[in-house]
Amino acid sequence: MFNVNTVIQTQQTALGTNTNNTSNENTSSERHSQFHSQTLVQQFCRATHLGKLIEGTVNSFLSNYRRTRKPEDALGPLLLRLDFNYAELVNHAPQLLNLAVAEPLQFAEAIKYSVYGQVRDLLKSNANPNESSLKAIDIAQLHTQWRLLDLPLQSNLVFDPSEWLYPLGLALVDGILSALTLPEVLVLQSIWYCASGCMRNAIQTSSTDAPLCPNCSRPMSEYQKLRVTENYRLLAVLPKACAQTPRTVDRIYRPILVRVRAHTYDCDLKLGANYLITGYYCGTATTYQFEACHLKRV
């Protein structure tokens, strides 16, 4: 029986050699592309003010831990608000700009992992020998709140819902705010500990349900004061054509549902005002909605 299984496995391997080679080449190319994108982000941060911003955030994190000396503070969040200006991207990293427009989700992943590497290197170089817990920072503690600023209004990027075509990359929504929800709370990070004496901690980024301790399998307890949240709203944005004169008859204008997090805008939200929203459709979300990465009033 063992010999039969061995023969079958060998035949399958021989038949699938070409397929495996192609798959390995694609995986290698994808890894190279991800590494290249992260390198571009790192170079852009060093060439702009973002590098100093990352260093300042790490220094504040270290200062807070050294002041309190609480073990749970080593699991605290690192919030980084990173503004990528269009003009700076054109001058310093045009390839990175192309990635942001074509693949915004991959652009966001490149930012997160590149900044995580920079933060980890800074902690290793600045932490004291007795602060080993800081050197093993988890990527779940890093929250990169990025925005793409001053993207010019281009007709090929403006999303028109009447065409029934969803954009695959970065898009612009130029319209009138017709409705908005009350602020809702998004949990960015929660820190948990085992109250049974196991000395175990856990970090959660998208759920408030108590995780189970990996040692005793009991529900863990949360450090309530260390929960990190951010407000967000859902907006209904109508195209500007619905308010233009002369009006078009026998036509229904469909609003675009947009989710805006608090860090993506600095202006007031007013019904009837005209806004330009930069964002993308996030297919990994539970609801297929337009995710804003910047909002401004025009």
How does pLDDT run across 259-281, given as a tens digit for each residue?
Answer: 999 999 999 999 999 999 999 98
Tell how many helices (H) and how many strands (E) occur in the chain: 7, 10
3-state secondary structure of 239: strand
Least Cα distance to 146 among 289, 294, 14 occurs for 294
Least confident of 31-35, 173-177, 233-237: 31-35
**Is a pLDDT exceeding 70 seen at residue 7?**
no
Has this prediction a pTM greater than 0.95?
A: no
76, 141 contact by CB (below 8 A) = yes
Arch. (CATH architecture) of 1-150 = 2-Layer Sandwich (3.30)
Count the Cβ atoms, other than its own, within 10 Å of residue 249: 5
184 pLDDT above the threshold of 80: yes
Q: Are 259 and 289 in contact (CB under 8 A)?
A: yes
pLDDT band for position 9 (cuts 50, 70, 90)? very low
The string of pLDDT tens digits covering residues 72-111 is 888 889 999 999 999 999 999 999 999 999 999 999 999 9
- Note the pLDDT of residue 226: 87
**pLDDT above 70 as % of the chain:** 84
> Closest Cα partner for 199 from 179, 227, 221, 224?
221
Check pLDDT > 50 for residue 148: yes
What are the sequence ranges of the domains in the chain?
A: 1-150
**256-261 vs 290-297, strand pairing mode:** parallel
